[in-house]
Amino acid sequence: MSKQLLYLVSIIFLTGFAPAENSEVITALVKKLGEANVQKENLSYALTYNLYAGENNKRHVSALSGVMIKMKDYKYSRMGKVESLKSAKYFISVDMEDKVLMLSDNDEKANQGFDFNQLKKYLALCKQYSISRIGENQSKLTLEASAGEISKLDIFYTHNYLVQKIAMTYKGSLSNDANGEARNEPQQLVICFNKTEKIIQDDPRLKISNYCTFKNGEWKASTKYSGFQFINNLIKQ
């Protein structure tokens, strides 16, 4: 297999491995994650929550788990099958300031806003990860952070690798209680990314404010997404 092709390497930044060029090693890493069977037909729109890295024309390329990147003529290999990302529609970047994932349907905006050095710093905060199967059609990827406001990220996705929701657990307080005192308990904010099996696509950049607003002491779904599944409020742990 040509070195010009973009190779799939799972858990590179989570484990500290360097980009691998041996397909057998790559296969072994994927099997460790239990995600060897990926549905090819969904790659044009699904957020896969795998980690990609490799080389294309001697340029190193990497991506956070959950990211699909569209770049001209870029290809990658998944379990020995070479496929093109030219049809991919959605792009994700990480907003370090707001601590949220942002979705864009514009590749120029996404590429400009995606800083891989910043991404490495973000992933460096994660001290461990785990993947668990919840039911017939849902799995969960958990990242625990050793520093920062967010202590844990729980990513829920279907067997088709469509993201259902991301739950962010905060160490500190996000709001005041009924008596006006700051909450010190760990709290969780859950954001849903899709309605049934369809990824939201009517807003180029999806932030927390697009999903919900904080009014009268609680989080509520925004008017635009009132018809979407939404886990209301901050959940005390």
pTM to 2 decimals? 0.35
Rg, C-alpha atoms of the chain: 18
Residue-wise pLDDT tens digits, 150-181:
677 676 766 555 556 667 676 655 455 556 66
The whole-number pLDDT of residue 237 equals 27
Position with higher pLDDT, 231 vs 190: 190
Say if residues 123 and 13 touch (Cβ distance below 8 Å). yes
The whole-number pLDDT of residue 59 equals 33
Amino acid (1-letter code) at residue 138: Q
Say if residues 80 and 28 touch (Cβ distance below 8 Å). no
Q: How far apart are CA 50 and CA 63, in angstroms?
A: 9
Q: What percentage of the chain carries pLDDT values higher than 70?
A: 3
Q: How far apart are CA 160 and CA 167, in angstroms?
A: 19
